[in-house]
Structure 1
């Protein structure tokens, strides 16, 4: 009996050996348990990939486009030209406003008192490769007031009777203390119905519970909505214009800020634009040279946008005399060759 079992096992081994010669899949061990044959596949060295820490997904790299200086110098001779063969034309602010006024005539868009916006493209890159400037929200009081067709709703947190009376007189939507805080936290007052939250310093500890609710609108001294002077805060946030810097990508931000109406004087509109620059420049990294990379004037509902000459309206784009001399020398060398 034992001899028969041994012969059977030998035949099985020979059959497996013959399979090894035919098939690339081999069996390392053969076991018999309860009269059944069990095959075990050979073990292979484990890949080390699973022990390697996965790399974080990289940020979008800024595409650096090569600028052809000769192409930028090309100027069309005629009134009609093929756009792809010439750089996009840039205007002065007065010329851009004049063109929008022509489009707004009663015979066309009939929008002679329409709003004018300054549209800016910002470079949001910092000195650190993986760190970018966050989007921001600012309010500025322009030197020449105009109706921007919006009504700001303001909540003022104060305690004294004089501050409460002043806030109500100037047009604050909500005025109060602890009870007002409780209504905002519980949702009795919808946080989205309030555009600005103003607070006096003595009430700062009281309004802390609304911080996770209102988030970026929470009163801070650097934003101007935390101040002892209730009148100054209300003048800024009721009469000023509010604009946002919206991130299009990690390294590109967009701003659209109203700077006047088409029936205002050109000098007044330009003065309003200049009042925006110091507010925006608070977010400029120290080593960034060209913070604003593009500037244009738009006037909805017109689809036209007119680019402005950056060197005339944006700090950091002034052409240095040395660079001008180098360009002249390059032109001379090219002409001689």
Structure 2
């Protein structure tokens, strides 16, 4: 009987570079499909009624839980409203939450971000803004808030937005690429997008000339919320101007909570914690002014309810006093709720496209002039 010598290799005997490169290739090949087209998982079998009812029950339980927590928190805040502590030492849970100015909150966050603690002075400072989504009709709520903004102090530590520019003349492709477009072109670019040559993660937004509106609309199933339209400000006559605006702008999009349609949450980034206080304050003011100016006309009462500043990974959160940065208050006539049977007011949410573009281009010009003065 012959015996064969078997040698077993452990991962420790393999070179780390080979392991990392092989797994990197494996990960890339598994994430990018053919033609780099985004594909969604499809169920191989039909979902039975039992599993569907379980999912519906779980979602309904989540909605009820969120609703209960929110109502309890609102009731607690109403009870504590007006309770001010009379001494320096007190239980926070027994009094109305304190509102901090931006300078006070930033200083407290910097104390926790020192090198001997969290060592995160270069981390981004975030503000969670709570928006009021209630309208005059009791059962109607604003589904989502969307807008674009050019900050006076650019977040240069964030990734640059990659823009696909569908220009009127394909001969101008090189000019758009030089100006910073991820890719540009005319009918050829539209064809490449329709064939799935661009992976979903390769670009952030799309701008197009108005002459391509009919063909671009056919790409709705591929572009989804990135489809350029006149309403979102990504379809117009001056594509170079649109590309410059949306490559330098910040996209604002609120998220909802299941079971609590009355509010929406908006996460904004002011800058790095190590930045000068004036730069952080200018960005915060620009954010809040943009939110107030672009709000829906159907909103009843104050649109911006509160703002909570934090800087991960520090666990401290402070409620901001934002009344000094934006003019809060109900700007439209009559704030009485309308019952289900009464007539609903028309939605005047469609903002003038030209005014929005002019406002954002003015912000870019101011920013460029400021940079020239600094130089």
Whether the TM-score (by the shorter chain) exceeds 0.5 is yes
Q: Deviations over 1:142-187 (max 9, x none)?
A: 0111324223221110132564223201221121222222222232
Q: How many residue pairs are counted as aligned between the two chains?
A: 261
Partner of 1:263: 274
Among 292, 300, 308, the residue aligned to 2:312: 300
Pairwise CA RMSD of aligned residues?
Answer: 2.8
Partner of 2:221: 212
Among 53, 75, 92, the residue aligned to 1:65: 75
Partner of 2:6: none
In structure 2, do the counterparts of structure 1 residues 245 and 68 end up closer, same or farther at CA, with 3 Å as the change threshold? closer
Q: Deviations over 1:61-106 (max 9, x none)?
A: 984637658752412512x322221222210011111111222211
Partner of 1:153: 162
In structure 2, do the counterparts of structure 1 residues 114 and 137 end up closer, same or farther at CA, with 3 Å as the change threshold? same
Q: How does 1:279-298 map to 2 (within 5 A)?
A: 279-281=290-292, 282-286=294-298, 288-298=300-310
What is the CA distance between 1:260 and its match in structure 2? 1.5
Kindly indicate whether the alpha-carbon contact (under 8 Å) linking 2:146 and 2:253 is maintained by their aligned counterparts in 1. Answer: yes
In structure 2, do the counterparts of structure 1 residues 209 and 287 end up closer, same or farther at CA, with 3 Å as the change threshold? closer
Among 236, 261, 264, the residue aligned to 1:253: 264
Partner of 2:85: 75
Counterpart check, 1:111 vs 2:123: no
Kindly indicate whether the alpha-carbon contact (under 8 Å) linking 2:192 and 2:198 is maintained by their aligned counterparts in 1. Answer: yes
In structure 2, do the counterparts of structure 1 residues 242 and 312 end up closer, same or farther at CA, with 3 Å as the change threshold? same
Among 131, 138, 141, the residue aligned to 1:122: 131
Q: How does 1:13-24 map to 2 (within 5 A)?
A: none
Give the 4+ runs in structure 1 shifted more than 4 A: 59-64, 66-71
Which stretch of the first structure deviates more once superposed, 277-286 or 211-220?
A: 277-286
In structure 2, do the counterparts of structure 1 residues 310 and 165 end up closer, same or farther at CA, with 3 Å as the change threshold? same
Partner of 1:235: 244
Counterpart check, 1:93 vs 2:93: no
Kindly indicate whether the alpha-carbon contact (under 8 Å) linking 1:163 and 1:230 is maintained by their aligned counterparts in 2. Answer: no
Kindly indicate whether the alpha-carbon contact (under 8 Å) linking 1:311 and 1:317 is maintained by their aligned counterparts in 2. Answer: no
Decide which structure has the larger Cα Rg and report it.
1
Kindly indicate whether the alpha-carbon contact (under 8 Å) linking 1:112 and 1:263 is maintained by their aligned counterparts in 2. Answer: yes
Structure 1 distance, partners of 2:267, 2:242, is: 23
What is the CA distance between 1:266 and its match in structure 2? 1.6
Partner of 2:45: none
SS in 2 for 1:254: strand
What is the CA distance between 1:242 and its match in structure 2? 2.3
Segments of structure 2 that go 5 or more residues without pairing to the other structure are 1-59, 331-375
Structure 1 distance, partners of 2:280, 2:157, is: 13
Segments of structure 1 that go 5 or more residues without pairing to the other structure are 1-56, 319-337
Structure 2 distance, partners of 1:77, 1:216, is: 52
Among 328, 331, 352, the residue aligned to 1:316: 328
Q: TM-score scaled to structure 1, two decimals?
A: 0.69
